[in-house]
Structure 1
Amino acid sequence: MAGNTSTPGATVTSRALALLGAFDERHPRLTLTQLAERAGLPVPTAHRLIGELVAWGALSRTETGCYVVGRRLWDLGLLAPVQTGLRELASPYLHDLYGATLATVHLSVRDGLDVLYLDRLAGHASVPVVSSVGSRLPLHATGVGKVLLAHAPPEVQQAVLADLTRITPYTITQPGLLRRQLARVLREGHATTSEEMSLGACSLAVPIRRGPDVVAALGIVVPSLKDRSKLLGALQVAAHGVGRELARTLPPSGISG
């Protein structure tokens, strides 16, 4: 269940937000009953609020009777500073990186204890991955996530290290080993993964800096890291270009969520 707002005193706003918060990557489509259950609401209350959300465009009803997130929320999300600033500035460099590597390219930021994927480029020759624009994945199992985790505050690192979920047989779930990897990320300036998030996929990622601060991560996903030096060079050039643009044109508030 996503949350429980059936307690006395819950506002209409909190109930509506609970319904929207019921959706996630594993639950992109929900029936009325499922929505009510995950939001912790009585079905009649959920039905009434869902009707208002559909009318406003926050939710849409499919032909099968399920509900999905509506286009209007997507339109609003594109107005968030993290989208309109960083994503737009980085776009030319992402396309250059994709053209040079033909790999899946990711632009990501940290959102709490997860990686938030702001942009993704992929082609027919790219390795299949589970990420999509707007999706969130674990910090400890992704290349971009390890970069962001290495530069995260101590309390964030502690929270992640306390709950290392195994996603594939190769996911790092030993806190000591991950700590050593994060220390190496800080020393070497890049992170790697090998089938830790998806079988058959390796990743390489570097930080994007605005001055001394790491504000995002840029990564690629490939079948193997045998050409690591070439791929790393292309990543570093692209990340440096994005960082230069950020320092030149975007104030600090324009890259925060």
Structure 2
Amino acid sequence: MIGSTMPGAIDTAILLAAGEGSRLRSHQISKPLCPVGGTSLLAHAIHRLHRAGLSRVLVVTGYRGDLVERHVASASWPIEIRIVANTDWHLPNGISALAAAEALAGAPALLAMGDHLVEPEIYRRLRDAGAGPGLRLGTDRRLDSDLVDPLDVTRVLTEGNRIAALGKEMERYDAYDVGIFAVGPAFFDALSGLAAPSITDGVRALIPGDKAEIVDCTGLRWIDVDDPPALAKAEAIDAASW
């Protein structure tokens, strides 16, 4: 067991910044450092986590982690930052989440993607909701949102406040995954019991035990900036001002 208790409120975020980001390579060799409105995606996330009331961020690095670490070291931040290096960054993203688990010492955490621009209220809403019996995922029921790529987003089927299923290829769904989670020890235990797990795999492992729940974030703005069209959209709508 990685942890067995979830003491206190969530004050730490895990920010995944380990992926290769090949679709944005023409704009920036390291996706977390890709600028939106003149500020890197990584810096946007860190400042928004601070505004949402978090006090510490574990930045998980991988591909070109040297550049990310240099970026973090080159600036002053309003929040404590710790770098966690994932040498297996080429494996699914659940490995990056597991890399940060030891630093949590069994406490719950916010789990966020380094390439997402979101309103701070989304972070705050998940922080306040907590991890529940295993994890809680922020969801958006606006299935016609022009900020979402319907061919790339993870789809979610819900039953009340529970996650019934999720995946990119599902035909029946009623919400989108916004990419922000509140996670507890049960989530990390689920990941550690799987070979090369993705975060989606970890969520799916908790569904049969009713340990995967949702927090409705419908009406709040978010965008996954993982390719040039999404980057252009983020710039055009001035997502940096959220």
TM-score by length of 2: 0.29
Q: Which has the larger radius of gyration?
A: 1
TM-score by length of 1: 0.28
The structure showing larger relative contact order (alpha-carbon pairs under 8 Å, at least 6 residues apart) is: 2
Structure whose residues are more often helix by fraction:
1
